[in-house]
Structure formats: C-alpha cells, structure tokens
Amino acid sequence: MAFALSQELEKRIAVLQRKVERERNARKTAEKQLEDYSRQIYYSNQALQRSLNNSHKRQRELEYLAKASASVASDQDLTELLHSTADLTAKFANAVCATYFVSDRGEVRTSKNAVVWYGENDWREVPELYSVILKALPESDEILDNWYMRDAPVGLAKFDIDGQWLVALNFELIQDKVGWLVFVLDQEMLDEETLYVLDTAKSHIRAGILRRVDERKLEQKNRQLSKAITRLETAQTQLVHSEKMASLGQLSAGVAHEINNPIGFILSNHRVMQDYINDLKSFLTDLKQQASENQQLDSAVLSKLCDEHDIEFLMEDIESLVKDNEDGAEKVADIVNSLKNFSHSGDAEHQNVDIADCISKARKVAGNVLKNDRQLLLQLPEQIPPVNGNASQLQQVLINLLVNAAHATEENGKITVSVRESDNHLNVAVADNGCGMDETTLNRLFTPFFTTKDIGVGTGLGLSVSHGIIEAHGGDILVESEPGKGSVFTLVLPLADVSEEASD
C-alpha cells in the first residue's frame, strides 16, 4: 500500500515538474519575443527618426531652392540678387560668414564696399576680413565650372571666426567684369547632399545672373539703338531739308522770274505815277496862281485847268496803277510765303492737311518750270477730306513730282494732277505724257543718287527722299510708266480720323 502511494506521489511530482518546465520555457519564449519586439520598436524608432530628419532636411533644401528660384525670378537688380543670394545660401549652408563682390577682369581686387555676412540681416563693413577672404580666392578670373573649395584661410582666426572650409562661385558679367559669391563653413566634413543642393542652386543663380546680364546688355543696345535712331532721324531731317534747298536752287531762276515780273511792272508803274505826281503838282501851281490873280475860281476856269492837265485821265490811271501795284505786291508776297513755307523744316508733329492747298502752293513754287508751253490740268473734287501728315513735307513731294513731270515732257506736253478717295485713303496722282521709263529705270527709281537727268540738273535724291516722306506718313508711292507713253506717280495717303479730332 505504501509502495503504491509512493508511486502515485512520484507521478504527481513528475507532472508538476513537467508543468513547471513548460511554464519556464513559455516564460523564456515570451521574454525572447518581448526582447525581439522591443528591439524592432527601437530600430523602427531609429529609422523613423532618420526619415523625419531626412524629411526636415529635404524640406529645408526645397525651401532654399524655392527661395533661390524666387529671388532669381524676381525683379531685383544684379546687386540686390547677389545680396539676397549670399544671405539665403549662407543660412542654408550654416556658414559662419559670407560675402560677394564684383571685380574688373585681370585687375587687383580691392576692399571697396567690404560688407561681410555674420548672420541673418547682419551685414557689417569689415575691410580687413573682406581682404583676407579675397586673397584666399584664385588669382585667375577664369569662370569656374563648379564650386571652388579649399581650406579656410588662417587669417580668419583673428576675427574670431572658426571656419574649416571656404566655398566660392564666380560668374561673368558685362563690361568684362567678374562676380563672386564666397562662404566660410565650419563643418569638419562637407555634406555631399548639401554640396549637391548647392550645385543645383548654382545653375539657378547663374541663370538669374545671366538673365540680368542679358537685360543689361539689352538696355545698352536699346540705348545705343535709340541714339542711332535719333541720329538717323536728325540726318533724315537734314537730308529732306537739303533736298528742299537743292530743289529751290534748281528752281531759283524760275522763282526769280516769277518775282521779277510783278516787281518790274510795279517799278514801271511807280515811274509813271511819279510823272503823274509832277503833273498834279503843276496843276496845283496853276490853280494857286489863278486863284491869286482872280481871288476866286469859277467853274469855267477850273474846267479849263483840268482839261489842260488831263486831270480826269490822271485820276483814273492812278487808281488803276495803284490796283496793279497792289496785285503785284500780293503776288510777290504770295510767292515769298510759298517759298518760306516750303523751305521751312516744318514741325515733325503730324496734323490734318489740306491736299488742295498743298497742290496750290507746289504749283506756285514750280510755276516757272510748268509755264514753258506745258499744259497743267487739275482734276480735283469739290470736297477733299484731309490727310494726316506734315504739310511742308507733302508739298515738297508734290513739287518734286511736278518738276520731274515737266522735265519728262517736251513743249506742249500735258501734266495732270488728280485726286480721288479710295478705301480710307486719298490717292493723289501726277500724270504726264512724256518720255516714260523702262523697267530697269523703274527698278532703280527710288535708289539714292540715281537720276536720269543731266549733271547739275538733278541730285538723284528727290524721289528717294519723297519715298521716305510718304512711308513716314504711313502711305506709299505707286508708279506706272511705259517708254514713250508717259508716267503716273500716285501718292497713297491715309485719311485723317476726323471723328477723333471732333471728339478731342
């Protein structure tokens, strides 16, 4: 019985031992699993922290590149761009100091405008420190492909600057100048990603600087172009005026003849009137003598004296002479006024112009050339709308066309001036039945100094200048010609906007 109890007890003890062993093994397994889980959590936290740090770093890099790009794309001028870029890049790279400068290629760099960055919005003038930084850069002004890197200069310690590296970038400017951005970093080892971002920023910075350099160059070109245009306009005005004077020179004999005719009969009338005055003096003398002898004058005596001195004829003829002299003086004044208006350089500002008036004045100036047995016909409508332009210049063109037509026609030739309105333009045609022109002449017609006239008769500038004047008026000159059948020159001029003038 006791043996049986002992065996039962042993069995129970063995069961308990196995149970305790299972529990011990289960606890060890749980502890191992907990340790593995804790290790996984630790590694996950480390990875998450690294990922967060990388995310912050990427965000910081993106913010820097975004700000740098915005600065590049802004309206800042070159100096402002250098200043803002140096500030942004210094903060991003955790620089201990930074600067920028522009120097003439090949010249010794100086400490002019020696400003150094010590932190955000902290720029100081430190010429000595500035000079130390400049001396650490390459002496050559060769444009670098990448960022320039070297050990920080020893002289920085004097200014309590603990720097490890000097990093710089240069770029080419206008007028043979070179710009630099320079940073001093205190990292023992330069981060590759930071260098990669700086290298990316380099392209943005250079693009922005290049844009501003191109803008500066474009501004310079525009200023040069503006000066050239001003000189060209001045030369064109002088050329137009010179051609006017040349035309007047060629027409001088005819103009003198036009003026000489009225002056001649004015002088002749003046001599006749002087004789009449002497006759009137003689009449007054006889009249006074008769009055002193008889103390009175009866109608018979007065009538006799008037008949003897032909007073009635004198009075009628004097009135006629005065009227002729007045007409002659007005004609001279009219010719002189036409010449004055024609020779005047004229206001460059365009205004409404009466083409009929221009034609009338052009006829007066070119009158003597047109009188040599040439028939001038005018075909003008009663109402001619105004054109926008310079009256003096348009008159010059018409004179040139009339003189050319006169030279192209022989005696008894016919010149016709006609005006018609078409498609918001006024067509002014000067036609002749003269010698005409072949195709070779037509192709060279508006070439400066080309002329078919004899030496001394034409300058070869008339049609060239006329073409330039009409183009400046927004119009055109059309030419139709055939050898032996004459020519037609048509001025196509835009009509003035009468509605705008009325509203003004």
Encode pLDDT of 377-411 as tens digits. Answer: 888 888 889 998 888 788 878 888 888 888 888 77
Q: Which segments of 74-110 does DSSP mark as H helices, in order? A: 78-92
The DSSP element (H or E) to which 44 belongs, if any, is helix 2-73
Q: 370, 415 in Cβ contact below 8 A?
A: yes
Q: Give the model confidence (pLDDT) of 279-318 as tens digits.
A: 888 878 877 777 676 656 667 767 777 777 777 787 887 8
Output the 3-class SS for 265-326.
HHHHHHHHHHHHHHHHHHHHHHHHHHHHHHCCCCHHHHHHHHHHHCHHHHHHHHHHHHHHHH
Q: Give the distance from CA 490 to its chain's centroid.
A: 31
Q: What angle do CA 130, 132, 137 make, to 5 degrees?
A: 95
Flag whether pLDDT at 500 surpasses 50: no
Does 361 score more than 60 pLDDT?
yes
| Residues listed for the chain | 504
Q: Higher pLDDT residue, 254 or 70?
A: 70
Instruction: State which amino acid sits at residue 389.
Output: G
17-30 confidence digits (pLDDT tens): 888 788 888 888 88
What does the pLDDT average to over 93-105? 84
Decide if 450 contacts 457 (C-beta within 8 A): no
Lowest model confidence (mean pLDDT) among 83-97, 124-138, 203-217, 447-461: 447-461
Give the pLDDT score at 457: 44
pLDDT band at 148 (very low <50, low <70, confident <90, very high): confident
**Quick check: 389 and 493 in contact, CB under 8 A?**
yes
426 — pLDDT class (breaks 50, 70, 90): very high
**In the predicted model, what is the mean pLDDT of residues 355-384?**
80
Q: CA dist 232 to 34, 227, 305, 391, Å?
A: 93, 8, 76, 21
First to last CA, the chain: 141
Would you give the DSSP letter of residue 501? Answer: H
Torsion over CA of 369, 375, 379 and 384, rounded to 10 degrees?
Answer: 20
Identify the pLDDT of residue 341.
Answer: 57
Q: What is the mean pLDDT of residues 323-328?
A: 73
pTM as predicted: 0.41
- What pLDDT score was predicted for residue 504? 46
Mean pLDDT score, 48-73 = 74
Residue 251 has pLDDT above 60, yes or no: no
Residue 226, helix vs strand vs coil: helix
How many Cβ atoms from other residues are within 10 Å of residue 153's Cβ?
17
> 434-468 burial, b for 16+ CB within 10 Å, e for fewer?
bbbbeeeeeeebbeeeebeeeeeebbebbbbbbbb
Q: Are 395 and 359 in contact (CB under 8 A)?
A: no
Phi, psi of 282 (to 5 degrees): -60, -40
Alpha-carbon gap, residue 291 to 294, rounded angstroms: 5
Q: What is the pLDDT of residues 215-244, one digit of tens each?
A: 777 877 888 888 877 777 666 666 555 555
CA 444-448-454 angle, to 5 degrees, is 80
Residue 455: the pLDDT is 42
- Residue 205's CB: how many other CB atoms inside 10 A? 25
**Which segments within 332-424 are labelled E, that is strand?**
351-353, 375-379, 387-389, 414-422
User: How many angstroms separate the CA atoms of 204 and 215, rounded?
Assistant: 16
pLDDT of residue 503 exceeding 60, the answer is no
Residue pair 93/194 in contact by the 8 Å Cβ criterion: yes
Using the CB atoms, write b or e for 212-221: b if 16+ within 10 Å. bbeeeeeeee
Q: What is the pLDDT of residue 458?
A: 44
CB 166 within 8 A of CB 136: yes
Return the amino acid letter for 287.
L
Res 428: pLDDT: 92
Ordered by where they begin, the domains of the chain are 74-190 (3.30.450.80), 350-504 (3.30.565.10)
- Is the CA virtual torsion 273, 277, 282, 286 positive or negative? positive
- Residue 342, pLDDT score: 54
pLDDT tens, position by position, 169-222: 888 877 778 888 899 988 887 777 777 777 777 777 777 777 777 777 787 788
pLDDT of 130 > 60? The answer is: yes
